[in-house]
């Protein structure tokens, strides 16, 4: 009975596993995203304690506005206090874009290792729960990719991170839904860091579009890496033009 029924079961089980996708992963054993150390099935975020404590810049003080390291925790660094950098109201950076965390980001984006979106999203969830719990958000909006880039990569890493963040918080907080189609990217742009000052000003103009109104919403804008801050700044400007009252950048890694 057992021998004859075990084989036909294989197909439905495989189908269910595919359908349920990440849900089953929550129950399966897994390893630290950096060192592979086995973690408890529901460990959150998916880093071992040692790697979590050693994440680059994870414990340093940051400017609440732009996320750059500061000597002491401050709502705004000297530069932000002198001139607000953009439409962004706040930035939560989980760590610095430096080894070994940069390896995870690179493997996710360029190595197409989609499962790595989950530890990064969970890392954001843990940081947000710890740092910004007093400041509720209404939804998560991922920074979109242009259609060509999306087709090339097959997924948007920021959307996958936002989904993982939302799922990680689902049991402990009010639902924080992901709005994957609110913001779209009309064209790809060269990295700001590669451009001169004059080109930087016009590079991103008109590259994002927002569908529908976001009146009164407080938005968590999710991205994997924040470098100059211009991309999330421009995205925040477009979200606010659509009525958002507050936009907080949630980034896994901040380039110092
Ligand atoms: Zn580890
Ligand atoms: Zn600042």
Ligand nearest to the CA of 67: 2
Q: Which domains does the chain have, with CATH numbers?
A: 60-254 (3.40.50.2020)
Distance 147 CA to ligand 2 centre (A): 32
**Mean of the per-residue pLDDT values of the chain:** 86
For residue 22, pLDDT beyond 70: no
Distance 249 CA to ligand 2 centre (A): 13
Q: Give the range among 16-30, 35-49, 120-134 with minimum mean pLDDT.
A: 16-30
Higher confidence at residue 197 or residue 90?
90
The arithmetic mean of pLDDT across residues 46-69, rounded, is 90
The arithmetic mean of pLDDT across residues 221-231, rounded, is 94
For 148, the token pair is 């060509």
Confirm if 222 and 195 have CB atoms less than 8 A apart.
Answer: no
Among 126, 114, 140, residue whose Cα is nearest residue 55: 126
**Number of continuous H segments (helices) and E segments (strands) in the chain:** 10, 8
Q: Can you give the pLDDT at residue 240?
A: 97
Q: Can you give the pLDDT at residue 101?
A: 94
Distance 82 CA to ligand 2 centre (A): 9
The arithmetic mean of pLDDT across residues 196-208, rounded, is 89
Q: Give the range among 40-49, 141-150, 174-183 with minimum mean pLDDT.
A: 40-49
Distance 70 CA to ligand 2 centre (A): 8
For residue 14, pLDDT beyond 50: no
Distance 100 CA to ligand 2 centre (A): 24
Q: Can you give the pLDDT at residue 214?
A: 97
In terms of phi and psi (left: phi > 0; alpha: psi -120 to 50; beta: otherwise), the region of 66 is alpha
Higher confidence at residue 142 or residue 36?
142
Instruction: Name residues with Cβ closer than 5 Å to ligand 1, which is an ion.
Output: 32, 34-35, 37, 48, 51
The arithmetic mean of pLDDT across residues 192-219, rounded, is 91
Give this prediction's pTM: 0.86
Distance 204 CA to ligand 2 centre (A): 21
The proportion of the chain whose per-residue pLDDT surpasses 90, expressed as a percent, equals 62
What is the spatial distance between Cα 54 and Cα 95, in angstroms, rounded to a whole number? 10
Ligand nearest to the CA of 33: 1
pLDDT digits (tens, 9 = 90+) for 157-198: 999 999 999 999 887 767 899 999 999 999 989 888 888 888
Distance 41 CA to ligand 1 centre (A): 15
For residue 8, pLDDT beyond 80: no
The arithmetic mean of pLDDT across residues 9-34, rounded, is 55
The arithmetic mean of pLDDT across residues 43-69, rounded, is 89
Provide the H-helix boundaries in the chain: 2-20, 22-25, 49-54, 78-82, 101-109, 117-131, 147-153, 157-169, 197-203, 230-241
Instruction: Name residues with Cβ closer than 5 Å to ligand 2, which is an ion.
Output: 63, 65-66, 77, 80
pLDDT digits (tens, 9 = 90+) for 125-141: 988 988 765 578 999 99
Distance 34 CA to ligand 1 centre (A): 5
What is the spatial distance between Cα 103 and Cα 96, in angstroms, rounded to a whole number? 12
For residue 42, pLDDT beyond 70: yes
């Amino acid at each position: 009975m057992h021998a004859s029924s075990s084989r036909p079961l294989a197909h439905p089980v495989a189908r269910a596993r595919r359908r349920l996708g990440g849900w089953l992963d929550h129950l399966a054993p897994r390893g630290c995203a950096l060192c592979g150390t086995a973690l408890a099935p529901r460990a959150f975020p998916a880093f071992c304690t040692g790697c979590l404590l050693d994440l680059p810049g994870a414990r340093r003080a940051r400017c609440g506005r732009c996320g750059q390291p500061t000597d002491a925790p401050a709502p705004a660094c000297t530069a932000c206090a002198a001139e607000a950098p953009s439409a962004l109201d706040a930035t939560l950076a989980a760590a610095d874009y430096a080894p070994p965390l940069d390896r995870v980001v690179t493997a996710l984006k360029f190595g197409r290792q989609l499962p790595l979106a989950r530890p990064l999203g969970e890392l954001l969830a843990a940081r947000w729960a710890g740092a910004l719990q007093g400041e509720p958000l209404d939804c998560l909006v991922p920074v979109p990719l242009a259609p060509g880039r999306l087709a090339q990569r097959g997924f948007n890493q920021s959307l996958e991170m936002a989904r993982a963040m939302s799922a990680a918080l689902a049991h402990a907080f009010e639902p924080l839904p992901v709005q994957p189609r609110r913001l779209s990217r009309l064209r790809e742009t060269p990295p700001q860091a590669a451009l001169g000052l004059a080109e930087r000003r016009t590079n991103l103009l008109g590259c994002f579009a927002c569908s529908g109104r976001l009146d009164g919403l407080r938005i968590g804008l999710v991205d994997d890496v924040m470098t100059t801050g211009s991309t999330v700044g421009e995205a925040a400007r477009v979200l606010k033009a659509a009525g958002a009252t507050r936009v907080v950048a949630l980034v896994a890694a901040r380039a110092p």
